[in-house]
Chains A and B, each alone.
Chain A
């Protein structure tokens, strides 16, 4: 018989626990136990990137990531990016560039771009395309998403110069 398990992890900086079933995915648990709706299941097969969250600092597809895998890990979601009323620079760049229409895919894209800019602070178009290949935008806002990445990258470089 399948039986519940209790997992403990750090969610957007806060220690949390949840009692889950072994077959539940991380995106299910975030949605239904923690009411975090940013990461959402769309394709359910790891194809679209809408469920992207960071586990121990690395982006993963939450729809194919069992919740039990998060036991003891650090989980960061789009809800943890803002500081009070101040949005993250990547979020600001998406708004300014108009990098979405319906917005369903946006949290996944934002989480990927956060990591992209860590690994490639000033990415080429090709690096951006390769890195974001697992994220689909059905409204096809890709040119604006590319603009948003460039904008966020420039702001990050500017902030680093001033610091």
Chain B
């Protein structure tokens, strides 16, 4: 790891001022940033530690929803009784991610900003071409080994999968990211690569994530996070689905449905086509399976990842049916 200087920010304003130094990066839990510094992807000259800014780690849940401070630890949110009751998919997305050690270290803000696990991105010494690291240098992944690359939201410049789980649950339930004085929907916060894959999110200069806000809803309360991976634990998703279901008084009519996919797209992927096809209909296995196929509309497979196009809709259908007591 390259040497860097270290500064502690006492406030968000302080952090913004220090982060304006050339080569400066903000540091919270450090689990992503130090990992990337070790593999040579991140080469900061200065780290600005925001971990001592007070008041940014609170978790508040009430009838209107949840507000989670950017510095709350993954483990604190995953284990929070109010979160588990009102937003089970969000809590499960966190408890199924990383390891117990890392969940004690990593923060919610940092979790959202974790970088792709694309092995070409993570190995600059062996693969100099990466449009995400070095715009215009090309993409070593396209035409390479693509088993874990994205099938949705890709471009000719980048096919790297967004690796996180939490953001998938957040996008399903209309959560928003607070950037100090500005609030932006999670759905708009993450940017598909297009021809600028180095730009992954909507944070502007001088801004940082201060909190995440999730509105309460019956669908969020009856929700689940399903994650399929190469091994049962401590692995990134081959595909994941965050799904919430609200049934009408008859217990069979779908009143509200939320569906988002992870592990298959360049950004957390909200599947409104599935939601719209099923809202107002009766919960039936056949129609749920048919509508779930809409989740991968427009998917483009690379040489090794066509299985994700089959896997993702099955996961969506299983999540909906299990929430409805039919699987």
Taking Cβ atoms with an 8 Å cutoff, the residues of A that contact B are: 1-3, 5, 21-23, 25, 44-47, 49, 52, 58-61, 64-66, 68-69, 112, 115, 129-135
Contact = CB atoms under 8 A, between A and B. Distances in A.
Contacts of B31: 46, 61, 64
B233 interface: yes
A25 B101 CA distance: 15
B34 interface: yes
B127 interface: no
Interface string B224-266: 0000000001100000000000000000000000000000000
A46 B100 CA distance: 11
Contacts of A65: 30, 105
A130 B100 CA distance: 8
Contact of A46 (B3, B35, B37, B47): B35
Nearest to B37: A23
Contact of A112 (B49, B100, B105, B233): B100
Contacts of A44: 38
B54 to A, nearest CB: 14
A129 B105 CA distance: 20
B10 to A, nearest CB: 15
Query: How many of chain B's residues touch chain A, expressed as a range?
Result: 20 to 34
B122 to A, nearest CB: 10
Nearest to A131: B100
A1 B5 contact: yes
A22 B233 CA distance: 33
B98 interface: yes
Interface in B199-217: none
11 contacts: A21-B3, A22-B47, A23-B1, A45-B38, A46-B99, A60-B101, A129-B233, A132-B100, A133-B100, A134-B100, A134-B102
B232 to A, nearest CB: 8
B27 to A, nearest CB: 8
Contacts of B100: 59, 112, 115, 131-134
B104 interface: yes
A57 to B, nearest CB: 10
Interface in B71-99: 75, 98-99
Contacts of B1: 23
A25 B102 CA distance: 15
Contacts of B51: 69
A45 B99 contact: no
A133 B5 contact: no
B4 A46 contact: no
B2 interface: yes
Given A64-B34, A64-B35, A5 B6 contact: yes
A109 B51 CA distance: 28
B5 A2 contact: yes
Given A45-B38, A133-B234, A60 B104 contact: yes
Contacts of B38: 44-45
A106 B289 CA distance: 47
B65 to A, nearest CB: 28
A23 B33 CA distance: 12
A102 to B, nearest CB: 21
B2 A52 contact: no
Interface string B24-40: 00010011001101100
A3 B104 CA distance: 28
Interface in B11-49: 27, 30-31, 34-35, 37-38, 47, 49
Contact of A3 (B5, B27, B30, B34): B5
A102 B291 CA distance: 52
